[in-house]
Structure 1
């Protein structure tokens, strides 16, 4: 049975759509209506819906802003746009602008049911696939309530510093990959300043829609590679690719050809559907999921090569690497890979698969003092830099980890003998610093929310910006540390403040509603009863009566 949310500031319209849907044969169990984007967001944070239908032109929060919030918090929730503007070119001519479809008011019943039915059937098909995957994960020892695979992959590629226990959870969720496989990252840079079918300059809101459209197109065209597309900074879009274990004839040139094909396909699809020019940077492939941050760096570096080759649109990292002089550049790359692995496994006894390889390289250089000291210094100071990154804000002294102090007086053989212990100590300290950082960040998050929960326009992007995290990792960290959903915490603060005001003041319901962050008294009343079990009036009567 399906559950749908209808958002429109004209009650007559939303009620009419609700009646159409409930009277249909689409197996719809419940239709909720919201008068504006703020009410809609509250419902979405509190309940699970299969589909949202929203007007574009609404006061206070437009449908475009609502879609942006939905994308950030529930990227897989489908949206259908309803508008009285028949000549809204972007949405009219391209149904890929962040919405599954576009309906013009007055909405015809048959059109509405056709479009809604199509989206719900697609959801059911996706749901069956997800259920099969979930059952497979449970069979492999996965636990219910764990963050989703997409959420953890997003956190890993954007943060690059998941603690060891979270990495283990990620590995469990990826248990269906036990037969082997490869990961790759693509950095997509669409030029969103111009485009669309009118090939005109695009305003800021239009760029947001155009970016959503690009992500939708990427999710479709990368399905063969189980692609996961997510929003990066600015106009950047990041795609994570997951390949099965390549057959013998597919290795080497075969894989390279496939990656070039993916890059060209991304560029051509965005050009064909949205008329935007795009630069695509593609990383190498790696079997270790913890290499995703490093692959992200590779993809970004590849995309930046457009400045040196303005006529080219697709860049593959391995192309450049093959042309570079190895040696010092290769060593730097190996050190970066190792440091990211160490960072991801901070506090555990894992030192990364590249550790022994680095030691072997250093042993071969023992007799070349200048080269040895240069290579050794790059590694040791890179590890020291990891500690400084994590410990900069807590005032803890990390002086004893300074390589100049730790290895003072040691020759090459002595440095190599002490390096293993140094790496283990750095890993243990990283684990401690990460835990302290997370506790400190959680305090900042809750403090920020306590200051801002009365603002009806509060968004997860605002909170994420405060601590410089991605929205996915913010939600994951908050749930992990507190055991509750971030927006449940916001709502609890609002309801608790409302209770206090009902008990200690004579303010009317609408005054309290506005004071604690709700746009309408009616919506406040529904939310209050859902959390407190009583209406605001019943609560006030009960509390004031008991005081008397």
Structure 2
């Protein structure tokens, strides 16, 4: 059964789309409607959502900005964009952010239902359940890993520094990286085969093959990744940014890497039933640095021993102290613990000072901690016991309840003061949190 989120600032359109989908026989379990991007983000944080249908032109936060934030929260959620304007620029940005379709208002009901049906089919692809993974997966995934001379060139780039920048460029061209870069990052996917004791050596080989193909299909034309099979079933991916894409200051590159890492982990677990760890390098310009990036991704994965609950590891999140011989190593337990505490304390302080700010985002908080959103979420949960956004909601609800009980402020004024765009949305979250509505609380307090 599917769960859909409809986002449109025109209530009649939201209700109309909800009625159309509810009666379409698509196996829809829940339909949530939000009147703006801020409300939509709360639904994404608090509810399971398979598909988001969002308008582009909304006040406060438009559909493109919403898609940016949604991909940080749940990068695997499918999106269909609707717009009153047939604007190529918006359509291009929406597709670049992974939109399944871009539809123009007034909407054609049949076209919308076809688009929704296709998106839901994409979201529910079943995991392979038969031992013969090659047979069950081969029809869906097209292997793109280089072989022969391209593979040897790629192995040389990843394993050792090139004699010169010119030589690195020649190897990159031979490895199939001509249309990738000039900015690069390396991602390593480490399947946790120990979690699947039922697998034979052949099954493990086939699953590693499936991980490689799933990864290349998932990132697709948007990233044009170059994959390589590594020892012990590990998979390497090289992704790149053109000069134009890298210069786009509206998109955080760390957020993009974070989104890719979490999406790779989620899809391997969901579609292959294979837990996997993901190590991500920083970004460097030029293929001559690929061997350093590959080493960063490998070393990022070493932190899995210190953080067994984490699944995605970005090299830049961790402190590296100089050791003898100029190498780098992980800091000691005491130093690492102190660093973690500083990150969480800064985040707590920032949230407590800004929880009433409309549109507060995980990206904003993680920037203050100088870490990726994924790492901050992990540390925050580990140290406080709260999901980061659960903590924001806790502060908002406690302050909202206090204001309702101790002041004569109206509901819309209370909602405004604790960071909500609309009193209706505040009331929904309040009732979900406490089990009773603001009006019920007021009535009970006045009756005493």
TM over 0.5: yes
SS in structure 1 of the partner of residue 286 of structure 2: helix
Runs of 5+ unmatched residues, structure 1: 134-156, 161-167, 195-201, 213-228, 243-288, 306-314, 322-332, 349-377, 387-426
Q: Is the 8 A contact 2:4 2:31 kept in 1?
A: yes
Q: 1:130 to 1:69 in 2, by over 3 A?
A: farther
Q: Over residues 251-280 of structure 1, what are the superposed CA-to-partner deviations in whole Å (9 max), with x where a residue is unaligned?
A: xxxxxxxxxxxxxxxxxxxxxxxxxxxxxx
1:181 lines up with 2:233 in the alignment: yes
Q: Is the 8 A contact 2:7 2:37 kept in 1?
A: yes
SS in structure 2 of the partner of residue 537 of structure 1: helix
Q: Is the 8 A contact 1:159 1:473 kept in 2?
A: no
1:507 lines up with 2:409 in the alignment: yes
What is the TM-score with the length of structure 1 in the denominator?
A: 0.54
Aligned counterparts of 1:183 and 1:544: Cα–Cα separation in 2: 63
Q: Which residue of 1 aligns with 2:47?
A: 47
Q: Larger helix proportion, structure 1 or 2?
A: 1
SS in structure 2 of the partner of residue 518 of structure 1: coil
Which of 313, 338, 345 aligns to 1:443? It is 345
Q: Which residue of 1 aligns with 2:244?
A: 192
Which of 281, 286, 293 aligns to 1:304? It is 286
Aligned counterparts of 2:80 and 2:405: Cα–Cα separation in 1: 42
Q: Is the 8 A contact 1:347 1:430 kept in 2?
A: no
Q: Is the 8 A contact 2:64 2:93 kept in 1?
A: no
What is the TM-score with the length of structure 2 in the denominator?
A: 0.65
Q: Over residues 170-209 of structure 1, what are the superposed CA-to-partner deviations in whole Å (9 max), with x where a residue is unaligned?
A: 7866887966313324241223369xxxxxxx9866xx5x
Q: Over residues 430-465 of structure 1, what are the superposed CA-to-partner deviations in whole Å (9 max), with x where a residue is unaligned?
A: 112212222232222111111111011100000110
Q: 1:69 to 1:121 in 2, by over 3 A?
A: same
1:467 offset after TM fit, Å? 0.5
Which of 418, 434, 437 aligns to 1:516? It is 418
Which of 370, 380, 402 aligns to 2:324? It is 380
Aligned counterparts of 2:12 and 2:278: Cα–Cα separation in 1: 53
Runs of 5+ unmatched residues, structure 2: 132-184, 206-231, 266-275, 309-321
Aligned counterparts of 1:431 and 1:463: Cα–Cα separation in 2: 25
Larger Rg: 1
1:88 offset after TM fit, Å? 3.2
1:529 lines up with 2:395 in the alignment: no
Q: Which runs of structure 1 show a deviation greater than 4 angstroms over 4 or more consecutive aligned residues? A: 92-97, 130-133, 157-160, 168-179, 202-205, 236-242, 289-293, 315-318, 336-348
Q: Which residue of 2 aligns with 1:497?
A: 399
Q: In angstroms, what is the RMSD of aligned CA positions?
A: 4.3
1:480 lines up with 2:424 in the alignment: no
Aligned counterparts of 2:337 and 2:366: Cα–Cα separation in 1: 19
Q: Which residue of 1 aligns with 2:313?
A: none
Q: 1:496 to 1:174 in 2, by over 3 A?
A: farther
Aligned counterparts of 2:414 and 2:45: Cα–Cα separation in 1: 21
Q: 1:67 to 1:511 in 2, by over 3 A?
A: same
1:239 offset after TM fit, Å? 11
1:2 offset after TM fit, Å? 1.3
Q: Which residue of 1 aligns with 2:26?
A: 26
